Amino acid sequence: MQRYFASVTETNIILSKDDVFHLTKVMRAKLGDHIIAIDNKELYLGEVTSLNPLLVVNKGIYQEDNRELDVDTTLFFSLAKGDKIDFVIQKATELGVKHIVLIKTERAVVKISDDDFKRKLPRYLLIAKEASEQSSRRMIPEIIYLSSIKNIPTNLLSDINFVAYEEDAFNKVSFDDVKGKKSVSILIGPEGGLTSNEVDLLVSQGFNRVSLGKRILRTETAAVAALSMINMVIEQ
């Protein structure tokens, strides 16, 4: 069944204009078809009872195991060129992150202002929404922008925080310290890597240096690899 984040009332399920188009024109819904609607992390079963206009009736709570991670996960991702940010938002969402923090670093090629981020945010959220629906999640990650790596707000930090650093490439890969924690963060640097001063600054803010293995990874690959490693520890 198709999944949509929606507004659910006692009797009806109200989809956004774009989702109405997707359900009726792309998926070619028929009378009697069912969907799953997500509202406030709760799942509801909907039945299409009219096509023009579209009417989806709320048939009640839909029972399904919760697929969200047991540990709140935050990805700090340095600004990157091309469609790499879009890619990372999509994959990080599929991998269960709760927060995605785009962060400006010294060697980041891309430079954006707060206004640029506000203009891009609707597209980022749409990517996250579609990835959440595809991966059967119950929430859409929060997406934030930080214009400096200095003095990261404490409310964005987790019980344990990691920074991937290529200088540690030959150290043992381990996220075992995640076990027993309620929240975890991982920071991934830009294509040119973090400077040693930036790493020292992050360590002073409570980050732990960690290796992702012996090979030097592209920034978008590093984000996916790190989150996959963390997931493996969380879900074992």
Chunked mean pLDDT (size 10), the chain, 236 residues: 96 96 95 96 96 95 94 96 95 98 92 92 97 96 94 93 81 76 95 92 93 89 95 88
The pLDDT score that the predictor gives to residue 7 is 97
CA 63 to chain centre: 24
The pLDDT score that the predictor gives to residue 20 is 96
Taking the model in full, what pTM does it have? Answer: 0.92
Residue 170 burial (CB count, 10 A)? 8
Separation in Å, CA 152 to CA 17, 107, 124, 187: 37, 18, 22, 11
In angstroms, the CA 49 to CA 65 distance is: 27
The pLDDT score that the predictor gives to residue 211 is 87
CB neighbours of 108 closer than 8 A, spacing ≥ 6?
Answer: 78, 79, 80, 190, 192
Identify any residues that bridge with 161 across adjacent strands, giving them in sequence order.
Answer: 185, 207
- How much is the CA Rg of the chain, to the nearest whole Å? 20
